[in-house]
Amino acid sequence: GQQLNQSPQSMFIQEGEDVSMNCTSSSIFNTWLWYKQDPGEGPVLLIALYKAGELTSNGRLTAQFGITRKDSFLNISASIPSDVGIYFCAGHENSGGSNYKLTFGKGTLLTVNP
Amino acid sequence: EPEVTQTPSHQVTQMGQEVILRCVPISNHLYFYWYRQILGQKVEFLVSFYNNEISEKSEIFDDQFSVERPDGSNFTLKIRSTKLEDSAMYFCASKTSTGGYGYTFGSGTRLTVV
């Protein structure tokens, strides 16, 4: 199946620092999404991107859909302790159909030291 | 805010036993999914369900797995004869019929096969 390469695997940062993580794919995706997962919970959608080059913000979070349609990044500015969690990229390859199946990256574990 | 509800939150079962994981998707959603996450790994697609039938399934979703939407509100995943490697967190998700891929995940059922 399709693989998404997400990096870094983990990050340890100080409160207030900015964070950047990214995902790449060997094939074209027409949708990129970023999710956050807290321990014992399901993934929660942070940002969805639908067009190549699109740059979208959600509070302190900003994500971009790469112009090649094979990559995306997520930035978190001025991190706070509650940003701790696992961040997953996810993508959808096909242009429609009735399944909307997502492929997930392996996640970035973010730890924020107060 | 509407939620996807999953029960039980944790299930322990003997190898070879049948288990049924239950989900109540958001009421006006039409697309339903099961994903699983082995401890420390990425979230993996199992199956999508639309219009009362499976629209896509992964190679993980073999003959031991089945899904049902028995009564218009519940969506169940059955594993007929559990194996040790079925131990994972199982997430149900649902999506509205309108555009976008940001579906809503439940909090998951942790299945432990002993």
Distance from the B38 Cα atom to the nearest Cα atom in chain A, whole angstroms: 11
SS3 content of chain A, % helix, strand, coil (to 5): 5, 55, 45
pLDDT of B60: 94
CB contact (8 A) between residue B55 and residue A97: yes
Residue of B nearest to A38 (CA): B107
Distance from the B110 Cα atom to the nearest Cα atom in chain A, whole angstroms: 9
3-state SS assignment for residue A63: strand
pLDDT in tens, B59-108: 999 999 999 998 878 999 999 999 999 999 999 999 987 666 778 999 99
CB contact (8 A) between residue B43 and residue A31: no
CB contact (8 A) between residue B101 and residue A41: no
Query: Does residue B51 carry a pLDDT above 80?
Result: yes
Close Cβ partners of B50 (under 8 Å, ≥ 6 residues apart): A98, A99, B30, B31, B32
Q: Is A43 on the interface with B (CB under 8 A)?
A: yes
* Omega before residue A43 within 30° of 0, cis: no
